[in-house]
Every structure is written in C-alpha cells, then in structure tokens.
Structure 1
C-alpha cells in the first residue's frame, strides 16, 4: 500500500518524492484500490491549508485559494487532460484527427472554453455551498472535492476499454482487476457518507452514473480511452459532484 501511495504521489503531483519504485507499471495497476485513499490524503493536506486560511478570509475566498493551491501541487495535471480532451472530442473531425489534436500541446478554443466552464462551475457552486455549511463542513467538503479527482479516475478503471493507440502503462489498464476499482469506490462511499451524510452520497451517485454516459461517448468516438480522456473525468467528476451537492445542500 505504501509503495502505491508513494508512486501516485510521484505521478499525480509535483511534490518531490525521491524514492525509487521497481516495476512502477505493475504497482500502479495493482494499487488502484488505494487510489481514492491517496486522493483523500492529498485532499486532507489541502483542506488543512483551507482551514488555516479560513481564520483570515471568508470561506468562499478560501475555495478560490484551494483551486490555486491544488493547481500548484498537481501542476494542473487533470486540467491539461480536460483541455486536450475538449479540443479533440469537439473538433468535429475523424478519429485519427482527434488523436492528433489531443496530442498537440497547444491550447485550442474548445479546450479554453472547457477550462473556463470548469472554473465557473467550481467557483459558482462552492460560493453557493459555502453559505449553507459551517466552516468545518466546508473543510470536509474541500477534502472530498480533491479526493474526487481520484475517485473519478478509479470509476473509469472499472472495466475500461483502452485505445489501440496507447502503449506502456496506458495499454495495461485493461489488465486492472475490477475488484480493485470497486474497492476504491467502497472507500469513497464510506468517506463521503461520514463527511457529508446522505447529501454527499446523492452527489456521488450522480457522478458514478454519469461515468456510464461518458464511457459510452468516448468508446463510441475513439474506440477506447487515452490518457487525456481518462484524466479529463477527474475534473468532470469534481464538477458534477459539486453541482448535485449544491442542489441538495439546503434540503
């Protein structure tokens, strides 16, 4: 477990962790059941900063700081994937051209719009939610929000279909045992319920159901997942969770 957590820290963040990992591809796949736990650890660290900032700033502003801090820690890892996916999938081109566009490092119009929409949703929902929760509840939600990037990824790993274009680590995704992804989701459900009660579970179910739509769309358009389309759902999962949570927070 510790090896998997270290590996995920090296892969998903810019935090320097000078620990050599043997056979990283195999350990990445065999540790998927710990992916949400890694997300929670990362979320707890960022939520701790959120809590500290709450003594000096209004809660809604702390949420904006959280987005900035997360971007600095992760290097915008999933946001880059979201932008590339939007550029490719909404290009109205054939499959081969979509792959080519997604591999292009330049930011296109649809990618820019996707990032704008993402931040509008994140800032708008958290601004609304922050007024209906205590500071401590906001701290819990901050941790869950960061955790959900990894919860979303592990949802995709449940019976994933790989693009034939992918090689190496990406090509091996299809070898991930379903029970590992399920274990990650069970952990997420328990944490979300303890932190946000049934309202959080409703938001989780919405994100879990939407992944079926997303998978169908990606498989239909590309014939399988790429690194970008996988990473994009991390941000999509966050946004859907907060949209639904905002809808039920006053109930």
Structure 2
C-alpha cells in the first residue's frame, strides 16, 4: 500500500518524492482499493494549509487560498482535463476533430470559461456556507473531503472501463481493475464522508455517483469509451456537484430549523 500511495502522489501532485516504484502500471491497478485513502491524505495536507491560513486571514479568503494551493500542489492536473474536454465538446465538431482538440495543448474559449465557471462554483459555494456557518473546523473538514472527492469521483468511472484512445495511452492504465477493489474504495470514501460531514455529505456524494452514470454513458456513446481528459474532467465536476448539493442541503436545513 505504501508504494502505491507514493506512486499516486508522484503521479497526481507536484510533491518532490524521489522514490522509484517498480511496475507502476500494476501498482496503479492492484491498489485501487486505497485510492480514496490517498485522496484523504492529500486532503489532510491541503486542509492543514487551509487551517493555518484561517488563523491569519478571514475565513472566506482562506477558502480562496485553499483552491489556489490545490492548483499549485496538483499542478492543475485535472483542471487541464476539464478545459480540454470543454473545448472539445463545445466545438460543434465531429468526433475525430474533438479528439484532436483534446490533444491540443492550447487553451480555447470554452476551456477558459469552464475553468472560470468551476472556480466560481467551488469558491462561491464555500463562501455561502462560511457566511452561514463561520466555523473553521467544519470548513476544514469540508476542504479535506473536497480534495478526496477528486479521487473517489474518478474511480467511479473505472468500473469495466474501456479506453477510447489508441493502445498505450495514459488512461489505459485504469482498464481491467477488479470490481472488488473499486467497491472497497467507494466504501472507504463513504465512511470518511459520513464521519466528517454526516448525512448531508453522504447524500451529496450520492449525487456524484448518480451523475457519473450519465457522464459515463454519454462518452461511451460519443467516443466508444473514456479518454484521459474525460476521466480527469470528472474529477473537477465531482467537486462542483458535491459542493452544490452539500451547500444546498446545508442552507435548506438551516432555513428549516435555524
């Protein structure tokens, strides 16, 4: 497990970890049951930074710094996928041209808008909660889970996954993962969410699961499978979906019982 966690950190972050891991492809697949654990460990790191910032700055600004820090720590790994997928989908082109657009390193108009919309949602949602519940510990817990969601969210797509690109592509490493590993990973995610955020968190994650089914179906119909960009894109969409539902539930409950 330790080797897999190190490998995940090397792959998904910019953290300098000078440890060589043999057979990385096998390590990725054979330790998928620990993927949410890696996500929560990364969340603890970023949550700790948020907690420190919250001691210095207003809570809303610490939340903004949290998202900036997340982008720096991860190197915008999934943000790039979100932008590429948006550029392709809203290009009004044929499938092959969409794939070419995804591979293009240049950022287009729709990709730029997708990034702006994403940050408006996740930052705005957090500030909405902070305005009603200015509790540093509660928001820190939310920050931890938001980071974990990127990993538990994309792993929902790995069930019997088919890679739509050419053989040997980056996302092909997620093919052939055993179902029990994915189930254990999701159970761990649900337990962590329930422990830190309660029933509202579990319901919010249920929305992420439901949307993943439609998301998967859409791209299987369009591309015949998933690509690295479409997988990475759902990591960011998972966070936005989770926060929208969670904030809605929190504000609704406070309106009813506050």
In the superposition, the TM-score normalised over structure 2's length comes to 0.94
Matches within 5 A, 1:13-162: 13-133=13-133, 134-162=135-163
Q: Which deviations, in whole Å up to 9, do the C-alpha atoms of 1:138-171 show, x marking residues without a partner?
A: 0100000111111111111122221142425522
Report the equivalent of 1:231: 232
- On the 8 A contact 1:25/1:169 being kept in 2, the answer is no
1-structure distance, mates of 2:68, 2:165:
35
- On the 8 A contact 1:87/1:110 being kept in 2, the answer is yes
Asked if 1:12 corresponds to 2:12, the answer is yes
Segments of 4+ in structure 1 off by > 3 A?
none
Aligned residues: 251
2-structure distance, mates of 1:239, 1:80:
16
Give the Å deviation of 1:173.
Answer: 2.3
Alignment gaps of 5+ in structure 2: 254-258
Give the Å deviation of 1:89.
Answer: 1.7
Report the equivalent of 2:205: 204
Q: Kindly tell me: are residues 38 and 73 of structure 1, through their superposed partners in 2, closer, same or farther at Cα, counting changes over 3 Å?
A: same
Report the equivalent of 1:189: 190
- On the 8 A contact 1:63/1:123 being kept in 2, the answer is yes
Q: Which deviations, in whole Å up to 9, do the C-alpha atoms of 1:83-116 show, x marking residues without a partner?
A: 0011112211111111100000000111111101
Aligned-residue Cα RMSD (Å) equals: 1.1
2-structure distance, mates of 1:62, 1:222:
40
Q: Which deviations, in whole Å up to 9, do the C-alpha atoms of 1:156-197 show, x marking residues without a partner?
A: 112222114242552242211111111111001000001010
2-structure distance, mates of 1:143, 1:44:
6
Q: Which deviations, in whole Å up to 9, do the C-alpha atoms of 1:46-78 show, x marking residues without a partner?
A: 101111111121211111000110111011000
SS of alignment partner, residue 52 of structure 1: helix
